[in-house]
Amino acid sequence: MISYPGPLPPLNKQKLRSGNIVARKYRNRRIGDFLKELHLTEGRGTGIPKIIRAMQKNGSPHPIFDTDEDLTYFLTILPIHPIWGRVQDTVQVGVQDTVQVGVQGVLKRNIQILKYCLRPKKKKEILSHLGLYNNYDNFLKYIRPLVESKFIELTIPEKPTSSNQQYRTTPIGENYIKKQTE
Q: Note the pLDDT of residue 98.
A: 44
- Which residues contact residue 156 at a Cβ distance below 8 angstroms, ignoring those fewer than 6 apart? 162, 164, 165, 166
For the segment 147-160, what is each residue's pLDDT rounded down to a tens digit? 988 899 999 999 98
91 to 25, 164, 176: CA distances (angstroms): 41, 27, 11
Q: Which amino acid is at 73?
A: Y
Average pLDDT, the chain: 78
- Enter the pTM of the model: 0.46
pLDDT over threshold 60, residue 101: no
Q: Note the pLDDT of residue 167.
A: 97
3-state SS string for the chain = CEECCCCCCCCCHHHHHHCCCCCCCCCCHHHHHHHHHCCCCCCCCCHHHHHHHHHHHHCCCCCEEECCCCCCCEEEECCCCHHHHHHCCCCCCCHHHHHHHHHHHHHHHHHHHHHHCCCCECHHHHHHHCCCCCCHHHHHHHHHHHHHCCCEEECCCCCCCCCCCCEEECHHHHHHHHHHHC
Walk me through the domains of the chain, giving residue ranges and CATH numbers: 2-77 (no CATH), 83-181 (1.10.10.10)
Task: Answer with the residue of higher pLDDT: 60 or 46.
Answer: 60
For the segment 8-33, what is each residue's pLDDT rounded down to a tens digit? 777 777 777 776 666 666 666 676 67
Q: Note the pLDDT of residue 153.
A: 95
